[in-house]
A and B are shown apart, each in its own frame.
Chain A
Amino acid sequence: MNSFCKAWLGLVLAFLYLPILVMMVMAFNQSALYEFPFTFDLVWFKALISNERLLQASLNSVWIALANTVIATTLGTLAALAFARYEFRGKTLLQLLLLPPITIPWLIIGTAMLIFFFWSGIGRGLHAILLGHVALSLPYVIVVVGAQLKNYGPQLEEAAATLGASPVEAFWRVSLPLIAPGIAAAAAFAFAVSFDQFVISYFLAPPGISTLPVEIYTSIRKGFTPEINAISTIILFVSMGLMLLVARNYRFGGNRK
């Protein structure tokens, strides 16, 4: 089993990275139309430096994704705790209500949000985009953290309580470290949902302000160039570096031996 599973994991990773390698390679290819033969050139990275719009949009994306990750992970974990630790009327209904944000096409949610935000005075802007992203991320966080909490009964928290810990202390000292891998995974989901979200952002971004996916999707008409590959490559390496840095201080994959 051991070697079979390891080989399988290797194949899965190869599958995951095949198109990403292609993406990176094309960032260094001269042709604007992604044509072969491959000719090494840094032209797209150079073009990027003067593309303020794309850089500003990337920065917006990073900030929104980070804010979204913090808010959605916090709110979602609280709700997941309620579902895992309490039986109450309306619980199933609340859980089913998590489906619409992921089932109803974004385009419809986006149109609906645009109308409602206009009507209610929330308006368009980065604040509106953040509101929308958190809403889309919440179901993911609640489902993922919930799946983790299912495996830990309340016994440990009860034990902590009998030893004199307050519920909050029990959560903080006992449950939180146990469900940390789930929360880390949920945070990864939340970040990814926001970082790659374009339809909602596209509707809610006012003129002159945009996010990276919006830039990419609207540039389809004109032609997205390997500049997009170049910035994707940079982002990938930067985030890899950041994650490694964080991983030095915190064990992502859980802390069991």
Chain B
Amino acid sequence: MIISRRQRVLASLTAPAYLWLALTIFLPLSAMLYFSFLTVAPVGGRESSFTLAHYRAFFTKEVYWYNAWRSFELAFYVTTFCVVLAYPAAYALTHYIKGRWREALFLLVVLPFWSNALVRTFSWTMVLRGDVGLLFTYPAIVIGLVHAYLPYAILTIYVSLEAIEQSLTEAARSLGASPLAAFLRVTLPLSLPGVFAGAILIFVPVTGSFMEPRILGGKNAMMLGPIIENQFTAVFNWPLGAALSFIMLAIMLLMLAAGAPFFARYLRQG
């Protein structure tokens, strides 16, 4: 078999990243996937046999599917708020702020990342307590998570807006398009890859979040994330915990697959 130059280039570009992922993520996770079909985790000399019971539990027991729904609902709210808050901010950064100021503000957006998530969440409890009266409510969870993930949206949208040639909008304007029309027909579609990238980077981890809901949401914190955690920390039920996570992963893949044609149309237009 002759390996073409093209294949060599492709392999050398992708192999380092994917070999790394294979060693540290895919091989270990394959073991977990295997465990999810067993009655008990086969460690410490336990006897186990094949079963689909953990996957069945998700569909037959309300406590699992209902809380999965709550997780996705929360991720939807958080993602929407993040994108809505981030877009005008990123637009201001790329279009109305120049030079040193832009750099300084860009750094200010990134900087919150440098502080610990737990400490930030705990600081929110102090802000939301008292007269604000939001602590231990559902909105508190949304606020905390939007805060944690907002920089992701600003960064990806910023990167995408920044790459759009100014000349394209100017061309649209010179052809008689109103500023709004130029924005809607040129800038917005071209910036969608950044919006989608940000949305994915937010939606996916928020679905599995457990720390912010627990600290800020009090009794409203029940989601699928904490249930999965407990299978590993509170009770020795790795198979159920693994099965629930793979179901969550499968749902996300389905959502991406369902959204793919829609994304593709938009991206082509751009």
Contacts and interface: CB of A to CB of B under 8 A. Distances in A.
Interface of A: 1-2, 4-6, 8-9, 12-13, 15-20, 22-23, 26, 34, 75-76, 78-79, 81-82, 86, 88, 94, 96-97, 99-105, 107-109, 111-113, 115-117, 131-132, 134-135, 138, 140, 142-144, 146-148, 150-152, 167, 178, 181-182, 185, 188-189, 191-192, 195-196, 212-213, 216-217, 220, 224, 228-229, 232, 235-236, 239-240, 243-244, 247, 251-254, 256-257
Contact of A247 (B9, B92, B103): B103
A112 B29 contact: yes
Contacts of A113: 24, 28
A45 B164 CA distance: 46
A185 B29 contact: no
B113 A191 contact: yes
A23 to B, nearest CB: 5
A99 B102 contact: no
Contact of B233 (A34, A76, A107, A240): A107
Contact of B179 (A1, A102, A140, A240): A1
Contacts of B242: 108
B109 A13 contact: yes
B93 A253 contact: yes
Contacts of A135: 20-21, 24-25
B235 interface: no
12 contacts: A13-B108, A26-B126, A78-B13, A88-B10, A131-B20, A134-B24, A151-B164, A181-B163, A188-B155, A213-B118, A244-B107, A253-B106
B31 A253 contact: no
B163 A103 contact: no
Given A148-B159, A247-B107, A192 B190 contact: no
A101 B18 CA distance: 12
B228 interface: yes
Nearest to A183: B159
A212 B155 contact: no
A79 B115 contact: no
A189 B155 contact: yes
A196 B17 contact: no
A116 B105 contact: no
Contact of A8 (B88, B113, B119): B88
- The residue among A105, A243, A256 with the most chain B CB atoms within 10 A of its own CB is A105
Given A5-B95, A181-B158, A213-B116, 9 more contacts: A19-B147, A20-B123, A26-B126, A103-B205, A103-B245, A131-B20, A216-B116, A253-B93, A254-B162
